[in-house]
Amino acid sequence: MTRHQSPYQLDDVDLALLRALRADGRTRASTLARRFCLSETAVGARLRRLAASGALTAVRAEIDPDILGRPLQAVVRVRYGPEPLDFDRLAARHPAVQSGLALAGEADLELQLACTDQRELHAVVAELRHAGPARVQVELVLRRLAPAPAPEAGYEHPSPDEPVRAAVRTPSGPVLSRSTPS
């Protein structure tokens, strides 16, 4: 069974939990439980199932490269020549290499770099070119973009002045019914 062929079918609650964790991976189970009208035990069980199924692969911290003294960020796209590039070896030798993607298309490999200065960027690019690729394209990052978190699909969130009276679980997900404020 491959990572994407899970016997576990995701429902609206699972998808909402995944979106909430993608927006803020530090969200506690107790907060998720309150937000989605579940018990902490139910949230924990769902998170364990999501991890076991491969849907939840990791929760990571994003670190600002500027804070680490790496203000020069670049994206490098590589088209292989006769031999593919050994990404693991390159990343081990150069701390500027933050991540990489194997691609199908014009480029075979995309590297995310965070460099201390232009000299470090030049050293990484020079090593890439020395490895014999057909093409190396370097683009400087002007700023990082991140989408705003989307509201959890399948949930109607009450406004703060409308208390939740009950949460009913249906086959398509929980439905929140509200009491009307007096």
List of E strands, the chain: 72-79, 97-102, 109-115, 135-140, 164-170, 173-178
Beta carbons of 155 and 11 less than 8 angstroms apart: no
pLDDT of residue 169: 46
Q: How many Cβ atoms from other residues are within 10 Å of residue 73's Cβ? A: 20
How is 91-112 classified by DSSP, letter by letter?
A: HHH-TTEEEEEE-SSS-SEEEE
pLDDT of residue 89: 87
Tell which CATH classification among 3.30.420.40, 3.30.70.920, 3.30.70.1450, 3.40.718.10 matches the domain 72-140: 3.30.70.920
pLDDT of amino acid 6:
52
CATH code of 12-60+153-178, in short, is: 1.10.10.10
pLDDT at 32: 94
Residues 6+ apart with CB under 8 A from 85: 78, 108, 109, 128, 131, 133
Look up residue 167 and give its amino acid.
A
Half-sphere exposure of 66 (CA within 13 A, CB side): 4
One digit per residue, pLDDT tens: the chain, 182 residues? 445 555 668 899 999 999 899 888 889 999 999 999 999 999 999 999 999 999 998 887 778 899 999 999 999 999 998 888 888 888 889 999 999 999 999 999 999 999 999 999 999 999 999 888 999 999 999 998 876 665 554 544 444 444 444 444 445 555 444 444 44
pLDDT for 145:
84
- Domain ranges across the chain: 12-60+153-178, 72-140
